Structure 1
Amino acid sequence: MEPFYFKSYNRTVGIAHDVNELEREIERLGKEDPACVEWHLKEGHIVSWLNYIGERGLAEMLRGVGNVKEALARIREFKTLKGRQRKRAKYYNR
């Protein structure tokens, strides 16, 4: 699968291959180039990529989000919920 490329004008300023890398890049770029992240959020690029890689739940959680702090909060909430689901599945599949 193709990674997500954070672009600022004609330069690639970040790359994410999965949700963990997406979180790290949004956090890093939120400090270095928040306008870049906000543009990708507002244009729906990140939501489209998440759907492409099969992360439809997170894509839905980020739909309509336009700022870095809110995006990071929702990604972290998603990861927490997903971790709890894995633990429950592991417990019940014993």
Structure 2
Amino acid sequence: LGWSPQEAVGRQGFGGWAAREADAGEMWRSLAAAMRAPGRQVHEFALLTKDGGRVLVRVQSAAVRDTDGRPAGVYCAFSEVHTQIDLERSIAL
């Protein structure tokens, strides 16, 4: 997305920098819900690049639990949707 670690680390939420304000709440709720859900959750979101462009990403998220089984956080893996579509097309051929 073009953000340096210094620009991204420590920010709260996504709104106004990595996502449009209008999209940020839904993104946050979806990722927070992964803490309560079993297994892996998959969502697609439009993120903002540093230069103002938009990129559609697929987010796979899963709860991270502490030693007592309580939610302690969320693990997220991001991939560009176009990359996944290209892979799926190449496998289908």
TM-score w.r.t. the length of structure 2 is: 0.31
Structure with the greater alpha carbon radius of gyration = 2
Larger % of helix: which?
A: 1
Larger % of strand: which?
A: 2
